[in-house]
Structure 1
């Protein structure tokens, strides 16, 4: 599976930043399924919000178009730490992954604990 960068990311990331994403993706365990979101970085914002940067992986043999996504961040105990619906215009080609960030407003964050590596991101 190869990594592609959405247009905005392609235009704004330096070659070094792109290589860092590629290297990080290579260190992640491959997740099987039609569509998966593998966390890269979960970070609490100063305003109480939460930023979730993930690899969106299209493991299907056709283009995946995402126009709306309900994104949940779940802690180690399986409790929802954040949940928000996002509108986006993202097309992920077959058998590729792309990094993407979801920024949750404070009103959609239900947990005050700091994110850990055990947290998951689920996209519906």
Structure 2
């Protein structure tokens, strides 16, 4: 049960244009809209609870037309779970139904505290220009921190960013502007990795003057969080589909969320298993555990 004598909200607000989430174009207007309180038809609620939510809703700032907003009310820990109560608000001139939607829990300084995909179809149909209170349950496995702040947090819709190129400073300094632009265009043209997937794409492979195999890859991170690579085993197959090199590389390399990072790996001549390697086609992958 909510603490009804806490008349101030514990959470902050996050607001986006509805088109950013719904992938539709809506007219932008310079006016303000108040959202009317709405309860799910099957929600059991006391008179005191109705009064409490009405009080909080009246205090909410108006929104511009065609916006979506999450307004944090309360966060509490219960039986190892964190229950986050918030208003889901929208200012569309039509009813709104949502599906499975990833939400982010963000701290007072903008840090990512947690993430979870919620079946927002359970909200039911939201009337036009309405504000509906709802509770969201985060398990410890959904969090990136051990403790959550009591105040200053907010819920936010996760907006899918375009998969982008991420380069180490050393690459930024040594690559020409033309090569950087080509890499950016390549990353944009590729189908992004699936959510949570980490994969490797070969860019260039050659035998250097010392007989070493020099391989440049794109390390592609489809996860919503940064990935740190410290030990990376790799296998190379040539055009004959024979394994021509195996190696394990010690790294201190971070690949940012939803980005691809180029990196070069050198397989010493002693690790090569064939004398004549056909690199007209080749394939790279981590060995199966």
TM range (shorter): 0.7 to 0.9
Q: Which has the higher strand share?
A: 1
CA distance in 1 between counterparts of 2:254 and 2:261 reads: 10
CA distance in 2 between counterparts of 1:96 and 1:15 reads: 19
**Given that residues 192 and 222 in structure 2 are in contact (C-alpha distance below 8 angstroms), is that contact kept between their aligned partners in structure 1?**
no
Farther-moved stretch of structure 1 (10-19 vs 102-111): 10-19
- Shift of residue 76 of structure 1? 4.0
CA distance in 1 between counterparts of 2:256 and 2:250 reads: 19
CA distance in 2 between counterparts of 1:25 and 1:47 reads: 31
- Shift of residue 78 of structure 1? 3.5
Report the equivalent of 2:179: 17
* 3-state secondary structure, aligned to 1:103: strand
Could you tell me the TM-score, scaled by structure 2's length?
A: 0.40
Structure 2, unmatched stretches of 5+, are 1-162
Farther-moved stretch of structure 1 (105-114 vs 74-83): 74-83
- Which string of whole-angstrom CA distances, capped at 9 and with x for unpartnered residues, describes residues 34-82 of structure 1? 1101001111222221111111001111111001111111124442111
**Given that residues 239 and 278 in structure 2 are in contact (C-alpha distance below 8 angstroms), is that contact kept between their aligned partners in structure 1?**
no
Structure 1, unmatched stretches of 5+, are none
Report the equivalent of 2:159: none
Farther-moved stretch of structure 1 (30-39 vs 87-96): 30-39
- Shift of residue 27 of structure 1? 4.6
Distance change in 2, residues 1:87/1:58 (3 Å): same
Distance change in 2, residues 1:101/1:107 (3 Å): same
**Larger Cα-atom Rg:** 2
Report the equivalent of 1:95: 258
